[in-house]
Structure formats: C-alpha cells, structure tokens
Amino acid sequence: MRLLRLVPDDTHIGFMRLRRITLPLSATLSVLSIVLFFVVGLNFGIDFRGGSLIEIQTKDGPANISELRQTVGGLGLGDVQIQEFGAPDEVLIRVVQQEGGELAQQAVISKIREALGDTVDYRRVEIVGPTVSAELARTGTIAVLASILAILIYIWFRFEWQYAIGAVIATVHDVIMTIGVFAVLQLDFNLSSIAAILTIVGYSLNDTVVVYDRIRENVRRYRKMPMTDLLDLSVNQTLSRTIMTSLTTLLALIALYVFGGEVIRSFVFAMIWGVLVGTFSSIYVASPILLYLGAKPESGSGSKAAVAAEGT
C-alpha cells in the first residue's frame, strides 16, 4: 500500500480531445519563439560574447550600485553592466570585449582594481576572448544538434518510425520553447544554459519513451481499440509516474533556485521550465503526433502467442 498517491491509478482523462487546441498552440508558440530568437535575440553571456567578468564583494555593508556604475562607467571601457549578484554586498561587473586582444582585457582588470581600491574583495575574475567565445557557441550548437540526431536514431531502432519522428518533434519543441523563454526574459545565456538545454533534452526523451513504451504495449494488446482511446488509456496509465517524477524534480529545482545563489539561477530556471514543458509535450505533443503520422493498433508487432499472453 502506497502512503503517497497524488494521482489515482484508474484515471480516465480524455487528453486527446484537446489535441486540436494543444498542437496548434504549441506550433504557434514555437514559431513565435523562433521569431523572437531572430528579432530580439538572446542575451549572450560572457562565454559567447567575450570580455571580462569580475565578481566583487564590498567590505562596508551593502553595495552602492549607482556609485559603482559612476566609478567603473567613467573609465571609458565601453559597455559595462553592473548588477547585484545574490547578497546585497555581492556585485557582478561585466565589461564588453576590448580591442587589442588579451592584453587589453588584462588592462581592463587593472583599471577596475585601481578604481575600486581595497574597498572590495575580488571573488572571481574571468576573461574570455572572441576566438574562444565563437568556438564555444559553435560547439554548443553542435552538441544540441548531435543529441537530437542521436535521439532520432535511438528511437528509430527501439520503436517504429512514427515514434522516432514524434519523439524528435517533442524534443525540438522543448528546446525551441526554452530558447523562446530566454529571448523573452532576456536571461543570461551562457554555457550553463547549453548544459540546461541538453539536460532538458534527456529529461523530455525519458518521459516520452515511458509513454511510448506503454503505447506500444497497448498497441499489441488492444488491436481493435480506436487509436485515440488507446492513447488516452496509455497516458492515463503512466500519468501517476509522470506527475510524481516531475513533482519530485521540481521540488529539488525550486530549492536550488531559491537557495542556490545567482551563479546557477539561470541554469535552474531553464531546468524548471524544461521539466514543465517536457511533461506537457510528452502528453500533448508526442502522443497526438502518432495519430497524424498514421500509427494504428493493427501495426503493432509481436507473435499471436505473445499478444494472447499479454491479454491474459
């Protein structure tokens, strides 16, 4: 007997009745995310743009952001971003890439140190050159595309081709929606954001495969059942597992978001969004796609003896 049961085992929710709403909605939001990516763009962090990043902690109480902006902004370093970073006495200073290579970047660090003096402690200093940042952007894009291709190959061998295409569509949907959120909120997009997207890809795939596995079992068991009813049955049978997995993951992520500090906040936010949109896509994107790709109960494989045994 289970002490905790958030979802009954015998739910009969008609998920597929909403497919004519959820699929167009998901497609519209995905297109909007792509448009925002090209029109608004992402707020690329120091990893992709290049430049200098300095994290300081003031010694005399909370930092005076306006005073720091006047002090650092008067050094003639170009685009300078200064913001609180976690605690009131912690500040993050970003300086745009300077002309003159790494020596110019080192000069930026020296100027800031001279301007601020010994009133602050330097907790982190990073310099990223343009060559490194371009390489990071290229390899990050290749990593995401390679992971999606690997998913397609894996699902293609494990299931029929309809399942492979459905899983890839659902995964690409989650990636595009995550990028759209970064574009809308102008969150700092850096290497940790790439790591978050790759983690979302794995989470979404895992959730989708669980649902697809149950669909494949039911395809061989209920050969005469209408496909919409079979999909509803399969999603309802895995609903308890889906909700519990998502909820426990969200509890850990929310704790990290609240108490983990500013350094990992954009990463954790992307993960929270990814869990939510991944759970949604497993039910309302990956499953209905099978209907439009022609998957039918009659297409299930397996011997008659196996089918009879499963039915028994």
Q: What is the DSSP string of 62-123?
A: S--HHHHHHHHHTT--SSEEEEEESEEEEEEEEEEPPTTHHHHHHHHHHHHHHHHTTSEEEE
Give the pair of three-digit tokens for residue 238: 């895995």
The terminus-to-terminus CA distance of the chain in angstroms comes to 24
pLDDT confidence band for 190 (50 / 70 / 90):
confident
Q: Give me the residues paired with residue 126 across strands.
A: 53
* 3-class secondary structure per residue, 250-281: HHHHHHHHHHCCHHHHHHHHHHHHHHHHHHHH
pLDDT confidence band for 95 (50 / 70 / 90):
confident
User: Distance (Å, rounded) from C-alpha 81 to C-alpha 2?
Assistant: 52
pLDDT value for 42: 83
Angle at Cα 125 formed by Cα 131 and Cα 190, nearest 5°? 50
User: Distance (Å, rounded) from C-alpha 173 to C-alpha 286?
Assistant: 10
Give me the mean pLDDT over the 241-264 stretch: 84
Mean pLDDT of the chain: 80
User: Distance (Å, rounded) from C-alpha 275 to C-alpha 269?
Assistant: 10
pLDDT value for 34: 92
User: Distance (Å, rounded) from C-alpha 209 to C-alpha 167?
Assistant: 8
pLDDT value for 100: 66
Contacts of 28 (CB under 8 A, 6+ apart): none
Give the residue from 206, 197, 269, 216 showing the smallest Cα distance to 241.
Answer: 206
Residue 116 has pLDDT above 50, yes or no: yes
pLDDT confidence band for 306 (50 / 70 / 90):
very low
Contacts of 281 (CB under 8 A, 6+ apart): 26, 170, 171, 173, 174, 204, 208
pLDDT, one tens digit per residue, over 125-162 is: 877 766 566 677 778 778 878 877 887 787 788 777 88
Share of the chain above pLDDT 70, in %: 86
Topology given in CATH for the domain delimited by 51-128 = Alpha-Beta Plaits (3.30.70)
Q: Work out the number of other CB atoms within 10 angstroms of the CB of residue 175.
A: 22
pLDDT value for 240: 83
Give the residue from 184, 196, 174 showing the smallest Cα distance to 269.
Answer: 196
Q: What global pTM score does this model have?
A: 0.74
User: Distance (Å, rounded) from C-alpha 94 to C-alpha 106?
Assistant: 14
User: Distance (Å, rounded) from C-alpha 57 to C-alpha 189?
Assistant: 23
pLDDT, one tens digit per residue, over 266-279 is: 888 889 998 999 88
Local structure of 8: helix, strand or coil: coil
Residue 86 has pLDDT above 60, yes or no: yes
pLDDT confidence band for 122 (50 / 70 / 90):
confident
Q: Name the residue ranges covered by the structural domains of the chain.
A: 15-43+133-311, 51-128
DSSP 225: S
CATH 1.20.1640.10 fits 15-43+133-311, yes or no: yes
Residue 241 has pLDDT above 90, yes or no: no
Exposed / middle / buried, residue 170 (Cβ in 10 Å: 0-12, 13-18, 19+): buried
pLDDT, one tens digit per residue, over 175-188 is: 899 999 999 888 88
Q: Give me the residues paired with residue 192 across strands.
A: none
